[in-house]
Structure 1
Amino acid sequence: MARELTGKHVLIGMVVAFSIIIGVNVLMATQAIRTFPGLEVKNSYVASQNFDADRAAQLALGWDVSAKVEQGELLLSIVDADGTPVDPTSITGTFGRATSVQDDQTPDFTFDGNVHRAPVTTNGGNWNLRMVAVAPDGTEFRQRVVVYVAQ
């Protein structure tokens, strides 16, 4: 014998369906807010005032930057326009995921004459190195380098 579909059954179905949708939305919004790494700069207007001059000075250095992870080490290559390795006066940065600060690390680089090396702990996927290197003339070189780590 077939049961009759009543308004009560439809109401219960709609309440259950919308409860699931709202629950998932709340969960996703909470996760997005909890894992957001934060702002790039405190005041974007102030940062924009020197952007063009800072960019021109950085481009004038002619540096090319790349990074990779091999055997638990982050290898950062900085070369000038001639392909000669560059050893800045200082390198600081944060190595971590683009979407979360949970795995952030502050690498301690050492220069081996060819590349800058730092031990890091990773697992597979996309990682970012947000670095600041200071040239011998005092020019700051800022760049975000995307690093893919194979599993």
Structure 2
Amino acid sequence: MTREFTGWHMLAIMVVGFGIIITVNLTLAWNAVATFPGLETRNSYVVSQKFEADRAAQNALRWDMATTLSAGVLTVAITDQDGNPVQPTVTQAILGRATHTGQDETPFFSWNGTALTAPVSASEGYWNLRLQLEAPDGTPFRRRIQLSAE
């Protein structure tokens, strides 16, 4: 005995198919909004007023940075234009994922003579280091550095 394919069958297939698509889209949208880490700044206009001056001051330092994240150790090596190591003051540092703040941590750096090092509990994957430093002459220095932990 064969059953006849009717319009009701087609309607059921369409409702179930589009229902799955809509459910997946709503779930992904909900998770995207729920895990959004927030804004970089509250008022971008005010920040933009001194952006160029801050950038020029940072570039005038002529620092070269090398950052690694390996075996639970975060290393930030900074050298000046002559290749000499620079020991800046760390004013703020946050190591975290780019997509959520659940695994953010504040590394506590120590100077080993050539670089700043900090023990961290970063698992494998991609990480962002949001670093604020102060040069010996008082110039603020800010960078967001993308890292990959092995």
Identity %: 51
The aligned counterpart of 1:37 is 37
**Alignment deviations for residues 70-112 of structure 1 (CA, whole Å, 9 cap, x no partner):** 3211111111111111111334211011111111110000011
- CA distance in 2 between counterparts of 1:103 and 1:4 reads 56
The aligned counterpart of 1:108 is 108
Give the unaligned 5+ runs of structure 2: none
Which is further off, 69-78 or 53-62?
69-78
2:89 matched to 1:89? yes
Equivalent residues of 1:67, 1:74 under 8 A apart: yes
- CA distance in 1 between counterparts of 2:140 and 2:11 reads 63
The aligned counterpart of 1:124 is 124
Give the unaligned 5+ runs of structure 1: none
* Residues 2-151 of structure 1 mapped to structure 2, 5 A cutoff: 2-150=2-150
SS in 2 for 1:128: strand
- If the length of structure 1 is used for normalisation, what is the TM-score? 0.95
**Alignment deviations for residues 118-145 of structure 1 (CA, whole Å, 9 cap, x no partner):** 1101111111101000012211100011
- CA distance in 2 between counterparts of 1:128 and 1:17 reads 39
- If the length of structure 2 is used for normalisation, what is the TM-score? 0.95
**Number of residue-to-residue matches in the alignment:** 150
- CA distance in 2 between counterparts of 1:61 and 1:108 reads 24
Give the CA RMSD over aligned residues: 1.1
**Alignment deviations for residues 56-82 of structure 1 (CA, whole Å, 9 cap, x no partner):** 000000111221123211111111111
